[in-house]
Amino acid sequence: MERREQAAYPSKYVLIVGCDPQSLIFASLLLQRLGYHICTAGTAEIALEMARAVVPILVITDLKLPEMNAPQMMRYLRERERTAAVPIIIQLEQLVPKIVQKCLEAGATACIKKPVEPEELYRVIQAAIELTPREHIRIKTCLSVVLNNRPLDFNAGECAIMLSSRGMYVRTRTRQPVHTKFPIAINLNERLIHAEAKVIYSHSEGEGPFGQPGMGLYFTVIAQEDQEFLQQYITDEVTRGLSSDKPVGS
């Protein structure tokens, strides 16, 4: 995935830098599933060349790199006007305070310990580059839902189409006013999860980020074991088929 031609880069991409090809592949596939465009570089020199061609929205790098380490690479990025403001996340074997402080002083936006959990990685990335950062991964899905004791018409396309451990977006034309609360039930892998949800926004056809009529719901009451089940389900979905012995940054 190491590309040098400007035309090959997406206009907005996350640049991952590391010398382990298997880890780069794992990280790039994982971040693509989290909704990001990815390019990778095996050395700091290649990363700098790519950043000069098309500026990334974020750089994620290992601390130790061949020939030029991450702090040296950061100095080059910070010295150039086009790349001076690019957020940089450094992956460390251990979050030793002295090393973390040196990385932050050199220009790092944040440091994370590797291997990193998908939810933590998502949260750090969101905080670094999004205007309204999310704390929890949300995934596309298609799940049967019961709202206020009424099953949605799954055959008519009424279902949950986005899911996080804290809420979901339900596609339906029967919407409720914002702030309305009601009981819900979700059928997830043959487990029925019960919760109370509040409407936080409502969209008509063609509105909102999904372009489909429905409601964004936040779980106001949910059992801890059900929330943990949701969290594990989402983690399993975003890592499905990826090698578990090559976690991000390993």
pLDDT tens digits, 21-55: 887 888 888 899 888 999 999 999 999 999 999 99
CA 233 to chain centre: 15
Q: DSSP letters along 12-45, please?
A: S-EEEE-S-HHHHHHHHHHHHHTT--EEEESSHH
Which of 193, 192, 190, 210 minimizes the C-alpha distance to 201? 210
C-alpha to C-alpha distance for 241 and 10, rounded to whole angstroms: 25
Tell me the pLDDT tens digit for each residue of 83-117: 999 999 999 888 999 999 999 998 899 999 887 78
Residue 197 bridge partners (DSSP): 182, 219
Q: Is the pLDDT of residue 64 over 80?
A: yes
Under CATH, which architecture does the 6-133 domain have? 3-Layer(aba) Sandwich (3.40)
Average pLDDT over residues 209-231: 93
Tell me the pLDDT tens digit for each residue of 160-200: 999 999 999 999 988 999 999 999 999 888 899 999 999 99
Position 1 scores a pLDDT of 41
Return the DSSP state at 167: E
Band of pLDDT at residue 9, cut at 50, 70 and 90: low
Band of pLDDT at residue 5, cut at 50, 70 and 90: very low
Which of 79, 58, 80, 221 minimizes the C-alpha distance to 129? 58
Q: Where are the domains of the chain?
A: 6-133, 139-238
- The percentage of residues in the chain with a pLDDT greater than 70, rounded to a whole number, is 92
pTM attached to this predicted model: 0.79
CATH domain 139-238 topology? Thrombin, subunit H (2.40.10)
Position 245 scores a pLDDT of 52
Question: Can you tell me which residue has the tokens 């029967």?
Answer: 174
